Amino acid sequence: MEDEDNGSSTRSFRGSDCEPWIDDQLDRNSKDDPVAERFHETARRLGVAHKHNDPGELLFFAIAKSKLDIVKELFEQFNVDVNERDGMGRTPLSRAVDAGHEETVEYLLSNKSIQVDAADKDGLTPLWRALKQFGSIRTSSIAASLIRRANINTPNNTGEYPLLWAIENGVRSSTEQWGNHHNPRFRGLKKSVLSLLLEREDLDVNQKDSKGRSALFLAVKAENRTAVEELLKREDIKVNACDKACRTPLSLASETCRYSMVEILLRHAEIEVCSVDEDGRTPLVWSIVSDQVENMKHLLTRDNQAINIPDKTGRTPLSWAAEKGSLTTVKLLLDCAGVDKDKKDNGGRTALSWAVQNELKRSGTRNPRQENVHIVEFLIETEGIDNNSEDKNGRTPFSWAATNADFSIVDYLVSSGHVAIDRPDINGRTPLSWSAECKRFDVVECLLSSKDVNANSKDSSQKTPLSWATCEGNQRVMSIIIEKDTDTLYTMVSERPEQPEQVKLLLDAGYDACQPDPRGRTPLHFAVSAENIESAKLLISHGPGSINRKDDAGRTPLSLAVTKSPVLAKMLVEKGAETDDIQPSAWFHGNKDSMGSIICVSKQGATQRLQYMTRDNFMEELAKPLPSDHPRMRLFLCKDSPPPWEHGSLLGFNKSPTDVNLRMDMKLYTDPNSYHKTLHFLLESSFPGSFNPWYLKKAEDIDSGATTISCLAIQHSKSSPGPGSQSADFLSTLQNSKIPDDGAEFLIQFLNAVETRWTRLLRRAEKHIRERVSVP
């Protein structure tokens, strides 16, 4: 293998430890061949033995040991090949560069047959080896010699060019690096690698790297003023050559360099001040977004034609200055003749619209908040700027300010009176809506302090500002808007599919669950109407007082529920809803597809229940054992007529043999197995509901089909002696759903119903008689 330390070839050399053997070999062969004798003498001087009499291998060894005299002898006496290759494909010149022996390199370069640009197996030429090692005094002059002779436009194995490499790595002359100006060895070597390269007329100064960057671009990037000036002296330099992003050296300098670099570039007659990159940005824009005010001034002095050039998004320099610049940059642009102060970008946004989002970094003279406010103030007061200009989404500058501007800007705009603070965009969203969604509690508070802001405005999706505010971590904003909101909770509990998480957030933030709307409807009314069960549960838990609240039409949440959803009706009853005013037939309106034709409303202690059942399991329900803890009151109502308990046949009462209008009967029943006693009451009335004399035609008989009132009460004996209520079951066709507290109250309900019928009958009879008497 190759010995990397001494640079020898793969052929074997032996050191001083083998000298006795070497001497023996030389004595045997030198007597026969004078050439061999000279060869072996040379090998002995190098301290090696050689079996094959190959001068080429001795050449590489002599170069590695910097033995120039032996190198010369090998060329003069043995005619070695100056382009010989060792086992690694390296030439004598390549090895001499590694050895760092200037005299050997110069000697090899003097050979007319030498191939200066011969590359080794790694693709590196001697020049590239010298450049890579350009960090020590001994290699600097070597590199200079090779630069004068080599092909300087050849890239290395990674595609790098000497010129670009020298600029990017900042290589200086040997004396610059080491400060050794008095060493005779380095006199005349004060020039940098770049200078040496630029002296070559055949140098391609417009070479580009893999990113499309030219030598001038890299020199600007490195802020190497000397390199830039030297490159600009070349007549063949392309000063506007751009990289793969279409950025020119001036574009880069305007963004990243001091004004002196921009000044140097602007001196060149061919420099293009208005060039645009792949994003359409000019050097002027880059100087603005990087807050390079001096660069900006130089560019405007040279050519101000770029002041209205939009980039690919349609944004002008003034637009960028308003967002990312300083008040100084904004004023400089507005002072330019012909500047378009209110030009819209592709999204319809103006400079003022971007100014409210200014991203200026903190400066030494003024903090960003003050600077931003001054920019907005200046633009607001500048003639020719529409303060309420709308972008393509209908959003004004103030709409954007409410979203993400510093509060000081919002406060100024609101107090200035120069902007519309409640103007909706094309989606109907107002600044309050945007600030509420963005959790801007200070902005929300400021807006709601104005009488011009409507807290209940709805956008095109029917969402209010409070709707947008309803999210995790936004309780402060919600609590502020809740004080002014009169609509959101009603809308939210009405939405399908329902959003219980949102409803809970709103209620937890303090929204009044019992607050009625102008028609007396509570949010619970709306939730029930939308059949939103989970929302209804949340409303009841946060505002139990709403469960029996009547709206202006006299409807309770339960009266709405029974017409829509048995599940909702059961939930409301179990939560304590009063059933008194519910018409028996209403219980079945929302349960049309069910087989249940009988309902049972029960009360046991503080617990209420609603149960739907069929005629078949009605008797099973009646026969269930009594509870042991609290008395139970159950009211059974039937959907169809006649009910299964009509005329008392269910409990063994016999039908009356005569047509009586009022019937009351009672039986005491004792269970033969348990000796449990129950008292059965039969209450029945067939009083007509209207006056119907025999002489009226059937067409006039409006209420002739009045139903019979048929009621049964089953009163159970008490399980323990002493005062207290007894469990009871009530089977009723009365037109209410009030659960009686006991049999006496049930009797009163029955008698009230009979009285009502009798009163109605008498009134109609009176009316009929008066109408007959008045007939001539």
Q: From CA 142, how far away is CA 121, in angstroms rounded?
A: 22
pLDDT at 265: 97
Tell me, letter by letter, the H, E, C secondary structure of 99-129: HCCHHHHHHHHCCCCCCCCCCCCCCCCHHHH
CA dihedral over 589, 595, 600, 601, signed as positive or negative: negative
What are the strands of the beta sheet with 709-716, ordered from one edge? 607-613, 598-604, 632-638, 728-732, 709-716, 677-685, 662-670
Q: What pLDDT digit, counting tens, does each position of 292-306 carry?
A: 999 999 999 999 999
Q: What pLDDT digit, counting tens, does each position of 204-245 carry?
A: 999 999 999 999 999 999 999 999 999 999 999 999 999 999
Return the domain boundaries, the chain.
596-771
Q: What pLDDT digit, counting tens, does each position of 182-199 carry?
A: 444 444 445 778 888 999
Q: What is the mean pLDDT of residues 107-120?
A: 94
Helix boundaries (H) for 339-440: 351-355, 368-380, 397-404, 407-416, 431-437
> Where is average pLDDT lowest: 48-52, 147-151, 384-388, 395-399?
48-52
Assign 169 a pLDDT band (cuts: 50, 70, 90): confident
Q: From CA 84, how far away is CA 57, in angstroms rounded?
A: 9
Reply yes or no on whether the pLDDT at 463 is more than 90: yes
Assign 570 a pLDDT band (cuts: 50, 70, 90): very high
Q: From CA 316, how far away is CA 459, in angstroms rounded?
A: 32
Q: What is the mean pLDDT of residues 173-189?
A: 44
Residue 141 is encoded by which pair of tokens?
Answer: 């002059």
Mean pLDDT of the chain: 86
Q: From CA 23, how far away is CA 17, in angstroms rounded?
A: 12
> Taking a C-beta distance cutoff of 8 angstroms, is the pair 701, 608 a contact?
no
CA dihedral over 530, 534, 535, 538, signed as positive or negative: positive
pLDDT at 171: 55
Q: What pLDDT digit, counting tens, does each position of 538-567 carry?
A: 999 999 999 999 999 999 999 999 988 899
pLDDT at 50: 60
664 forms bridges with which residues in the sheet?
A: 683
> Taking a C-beta distance cutoff of 8 angstroms, is the pair 386, 350 a contact?
yes
pLDDT at 636: 94
Q: From CA 684, how far away is CA 682, in angstroms rounded?
A: 6
pLDDT at 701: 46
Assign 709 a pLDDT band (cuts: 50, 70, 90): confident
